[in-house]
Structure 1
Amino acid sequence: MTKFPALISQGQRYMDTWPIRPELFRHFPELRVIQFTRWSIKWLPGFAIMLPAIQILLVESVFLPQMIAISVLLLSIPFQGLMWLGHRSSEPLPPALSSWYRDIHARMDAEGCQVAPAKARPIFMDMGRLLKQAFKQLEESRLQRLF
């Protein structure tokens, strides 16, 4: 079992590694989770602070415990996204994605790109790294053949 801080940092690394490209949205749920997690890291802490403050200013402290509970829930959402991403990054690829990983790796190797050796049992983090490298090094015409 991975510890909480390690899982969060692994999720952050996975979020930073994965390429955000329109071609990948239909294949990987990571992209939607990454976008929502980034949005929630940016905006939800402010909402979590404003809700109890507005509650105290407008209605005094009658419903303050409920507002604090809602604020804690809002603050937990970015952590939930990072935990999901951290867990997902270490899962092995299913057979279909594993063969796609090997195909992309072989095509990049044939194109002369510098790629790390292919893993026998790739995980989602390996797929993210390979896709990021493919989008960075291959031209658009060659990329379209991968999808």
Structure 2
Amino acid sequence: MELWPKKAELNHYFDEYRAVQIGRLVYRYLPAMALFVLIMQLYFGGADILAQALVYFLFLLSIPLQAVVMLGVKADKFLPPALADWYRRGVAKVNEQDGDIKLSIRRPRYLDLATLLNVSYANSRYRL
């Protein structure tokens, strides 16, 4: 989640960008919202609904964990053929411009794509 570049223009090219943005949002704000829901239910409902409040709290608290797991699963998948071809050309282009990066070219994954995009945006001289 942190490896994917925070550039809004990637939204037009990659569906994964939206998933990463939603994952970042959920990871940042849902734990606080879960605590708020727990406190409000206990405040207005009293001890009578403690079990229900804990269920809501644990459910909301599990959503960021689910987002991180799903992004991790997606990061380990292989790129589709068209995107893999674009990725290989990007790695070749960066290496042509004296940027000796060692990324997988044989069977690239989404994690490799995020690394390539991050390298490309970190150094302004590498443009894909």
Query: TM-score surpassing 0.5?
Result: yes
1:121 pairs, out of 107, 111, 114, with: 107
Identity in percent:
30
- The letter for the 2-side match of 1:42 is R
Whether the 8 Å CA contact 1:113–1:137 is kept in 2: the answer is: no
The higher relative CO (CA closer than 8 Å, separation ≥ 6) is in: 1
Query: Counterpart in 1 of 2:62?
Result: 76
Q: Deviations over 1:58-107 (max 9, x none)?
A: 23234433322221111011111101111011101100110010111121
Residue in 2 aligned with 1:20? Answer: 6
- Normalising by structure 1, we get a TM-score of 0.76
Which residues of 2 match residues 1-147 of structure 1 at below 5 A? 15-116=1-102, 118-139=104-125, 143=127, 146=128
Structure 1: 5+ residue stretches without partners:
1-14
Q: TM-score, normalised by structure 2?
A: 0.86
Deviation at 1:117, TM superposition (A): 5.0
3-state SS of 1:18 partner: coil
Give the number of equivalent residue pairs. Answer: 128
Q: Residues 78 and 108 of structure 2 are in contact (CA less than 8 Å); yes or no, is this contact kept in structure 1?
A: yes
Q: Which runs of 5+ in 2 are unaligned?
A: none
